[in-house]
Structures are given as structure tokens and as C-alpha cells.
Amino acid sequence: MLKFYYSGAPNPTKVALMLEETGLEYDPIPVDTRLGQQHEPAFLALNPNAKVPVIVDGDTVVFDSNAIVLYLGEKTGQFMPPASGRGEMLSWMMFVASGVGPYSGQAVHFQHHAPEKLPYAINRYVFEAERHFGILDRRLGEQRFMLGEEYGIVDMALWGWSRMIPMVLGEKGFEQFPHVKRFTDEVSSRPAAQRAAALKDRHAFKTEMDDEARRAMFPGNERL
């Protein structure tokens, strides 16, 4: 059975959605990043980058959430575009992986977890998160899903982060992006998405952001 190493963060949640949508059997294995379990040797042997998610499918190990979603799409043949849409699919998958996720994550970090509030850093990452979601909002204003009228892997990759807009941009963040909000609500209403969002509740992940958690999640701070 496929093993899925996860936490409740946005990137593992998008993989959980893909697993639930495809109906693949999987064994969910929690990795509590606030306890530093991502730095343990057994996990580093799977992902030397010390991040979730990771899947182990027989002899195949895949890390990075968008790589996993793409792998599962190719494995099952589900939620993939026709061959003529592959270039468009790859472009938007990388847009989410290299832009939406990193800028949103850094916006959250500098607003909520950095040891000091740095206006320059907050402005940069919030601006870039807004810019990326603005591009997505314009696209979703023209069509139902990211590649047209059919729901697919790009939508799953995006949903992992779009559902976090209130954390990234504040409680009123969705007001700027009505089409992203409509999209997020539609995907979130799917039974598979509800199961994916609830996966984190199977395990009592540490919730406190104390010194132990900061050392585990932001080890670069130890150099300051």
C-alpha cells in the first residue's frame, strides 16, 4: 500500500486531496514538524530536504507536493488533461509550485512567525502573494477551473493554498479575489476535499509555536 507522509500544512493537504479523489488506498503517516520529526534520519532518507509531503509507492519515493500530484495523475490516468493541454498544465503546476506556494508561505512566516516584524519583508511577500492570486483570479473569471471546464490536478495543487488566503492576506483577503473564492468554495465542497481537510484530525499534531517548534521549523534562526 502507498505510504503518505503528511502534516496539516497546505502542501500535504493538496496531496491528500489527490489521493482521496483517485480512490487510491494509502497509509497516512503523520510527521509532526513542530516536534522536529522531519529531521529524523529515517525521514531524511526519504526526503533530504526535510519537508512533507512524501509518498512511497513500492520502490518509488516522490517528494515535493506538485511532483507527487503529477506522479499520481500519471499513475492513475485520472484528472489529467489531454495531450494537447500538457504544456498548459505543466506551466500552471509550476506557477503554483514556484510562485503561489513560496510567496504565500513567506507572507505567513513574516507576518506571524518571524522573531521581529520587518515591514520590507512583509510588504514584499504579501504583494507577491496578492499579485499571483490576482493572475489566478483573472483566469478563473474566464473559466470554471484552471484548464477550462474540467476539474484536474492543477486545481488540486492550487486549492491547497487558495483555501489559506485568510491566513496569507488577512480575514478579508478573499474580497480581492471573488473568482478564486468561488473556485475554492467549489473545490472545498467536494467530498474528497472534506476528507482531505479532515485528515489532520486523525493525529494530535503539536499546536504550540514555542521555542522547540521554532528550532524545528526555522533552524536558520539558530544562526542569528
Q: How many CB atoms lie within 10 A of CB 158?
A: 26
Both 36 and 103 in a single domain?
A: no
For 40-77, the pLDDT digits (tens) are 999 999 999 999 999 999 999 999 999 999 999 999 99
8 part of a folded domain: yes
132 part of a folded domain: yes
Both 148 and 201 in a single domain?
A: no
For 26-37, the pLDDT digits (tens) are 999 999 999 999
Both 203 and 129 in a single domain?
A: no
Both 58 and 88 in a single domain?
A: no
Both 45 and 133 in a single domain?
A: no
Query: What is the extent of the structural domain holding 132?
Result: 83-190
Query: Which pLDDT value is given to residue 52?
Result: 98
Both 49 and 124 in a single domain?
A: no
Both 87 and 168 in a single domain?
A: yes
pLDDT at 223 over 90: no
The greatest distance separating any two alpha carbons of the chain, rounded to the nearest whole angstrom, comes to 50
For 122-160, the pLDDT digits (tens) are 999 999 999 999 999 999 999 999 999 999 999 999 999
Query: Which pLDDT value is given to residue 224?
Result: 74
Mean pLDDT estimate for the chain: 97
What total of structural domains would you count in the chain? 2
Q: Which of 171, 167, 181 is nearest to 137 (CA)?
A: 181
Cβ(14)–Cβ(159) under 8 Å?
yes
126 part of a folded domain: yes
**pLDDT cut 90: percent of the chain above it:** 98
**Res. 222 pLDDT band, cuts 50 70 90:** confident
95 part of a folded domain: yes
For 156-199, the pLDDT digits (tens) are 999 999 999 999 999 999 999 999 999 999 999 999 999 999 99
219 part of a folded domain: no
pLDDT at 101 over 90: yes
Both 8 and 72 in a single domain?
A: yes
Q: Which helix (H) or strand (E) holds 5?
A: strand 2-6
Both 35 and 72 in a single domain?
A: yes
CATH number for the domain including 148? 1.20.1050.10
Both 11 and 87 in a single domain?
A: no
103 part of a folded domain: yes
CATH number for the domain including 43? 3.40.30.10
177 part of a folded domain: yes
Which residues have C-beta within 8 Å of that of residue 101, sequence separation ≥ 6? Answer: 10, 11, 65, 160, 161
More confident residue, 221 or 46: 46
Both 185 and 92 in a single domain?
A: yes
Query: Which pLDDT value is given to residue 165?
Result: 98
